[in-house]
Amino acid sequence: MYLEKNILERLTSFRDADYKIESIHLFRDISQDDREHIAHIIKDCAVVKAGSGQVVLDANSSGARLYIVLKGALAITTPNPENKHQENASTQYLAGECVGEISVLDEEIHSATISAIADSELLVIEAETLWKLIDESNGVARNLLQLLSFRIRAANAQIRNRQKVGEFYRQLSMVDGLTGLHNRAWLNTQLPSMIETAHATGNPLSIIMVDLDHFKQFNDEYGHVLGDDALQTAAKVLNAGLRPTDFAARYGGEEMIVILPNTNQRSALIVAERLCSRLQKTRVFADMQKALPHVTASFGLATLQEGQDGSAVIAMADSALYRAKQAGRNQVAI
């Protein structure tokens, strides 16, 4: 970076508005006497010129100085994953703003790379001089606190946004891409807490295992594309037949599972029989010239017993599902 001296004359010159003290955020709303004192303190500070694209601070440099943008603009830059020779710019610093103040105060290395995004002129204030400004000017100390407060609020906002994005993708990862139901990962995460709640409150909880009948044969005869359509249709039937407090998940392959909190065996049996009947009556391929059989399913019902965990109640439902298949399929067994 090109170095230029004699900042005092330029800062106090009314002919050069870009270099007036009051145009610098750190020195705003300060009395005339204070400005003159500030000008005296920084009289030996240098002005450096940085060309567009030139790095001013990198992530490994120590926090020994503060940079105030007098002309031009700086920005935090990060590597572009699509082109290693280019960088992405964010969080711009325009004329009057400063960078590096946090690293000066905590004496840690900089956490990001800051580059000029236009030909820029920067006032460089060494750490010792900045501390002298803070000690001898209440106005500078106040403005610095306001600046740090803004930085903290902006950082918190970024963290909240990242958390929201992270939660969005976490939720997305809990959904089965084909059926739109919850997936096995969701089940493994949520079912234990539901069972714990049921045991703690003494409320019933029932599980229904659902397996589409002869689905392998269906896939072999009509193809996996139509098989996927059948799975999607079955999932819609299940979802449409549940209360907002109930849950449906894809357990694996053509198997699905329904969780009914606060539901005893008698009420769960009514739900399972309703779902079985609705699925049997649903047309899957309305536009097919060749007649297709209705897709049916077998249902195995289990209600949580005292001391049982998720694996135990699912095993009970799976045994009931096996009995429904043995009895001829397209029915509910307990």
- Please report the pLDDT score of residue 15 as a whole number: 41
pTM of the model: 0.55
Q: Which residues belong to CATH 3.30.70.270 in the chain?
A: 184-333
- Please report the pLDDT score of residue 205 as a whole number: 97
For the domain made up of 2-168, the CATH class stated in words is mainly beta
Q: Name residues whose C-beta falls within 8 Å of residue 273's C-beta, 6 or more positions apart in sequence.
A: 299, 332
- Please report the pLDDT score of residue 14 as a whole number: 36
Instruction: Report the C-alpha gap between 316 and 308 in whole angstroms.
Output: 10
- For residue 301, give the nearest of 266, 323, 269, 278 by alpha carbon: 269
- Please report the pLDDT score of residue 332 as a whole number: 96
For the domain made up of 184-333, the CATH class stated in words is alpha beta
- The token pair that represents 301 in the structure block: 């019902």
Local confidence pLDDT in tens for the 334 residues of the chain:
555 555 545 554 434 445 577 788 899 888 888 888 888 899 889 899 999 989 888 766 666 789 999 999 999 865 554 545 554 557 889 999 998 888 888 777 666 788 999 999 999 999 999 999 999 999 999 999 998 888 888 878 878 877 777 766 666 678 898 999 999 999 999 999 999 999 999 999 999 999 999 998 888 888 888 889 899 999 999 999 998 999 999 998 999 999 999 999 999 999 999 999 999 888 776 665 555 566 899 999 999 999 999 999 999 999 999 999 999 999 999 9
- The token pair that represents 58 in the structure block: 């990198």
254 is catalytic: yes
Instruction: Report the C-alpha gap between 109 and 96 in whole angstroms.
Output: 23
Q: Catalytic residue among 136, 221, 254, 306, which?
A: 254
Parallel/antiparallel/unpaired status of strands 73-80 and 55-57: unpaired
Torsion angle, alpha carbons of 282, 284, 286, 289, to 10: -130
Q: Which residues belong to CATH 2.60.120.10 in the chain?
A: 2-168
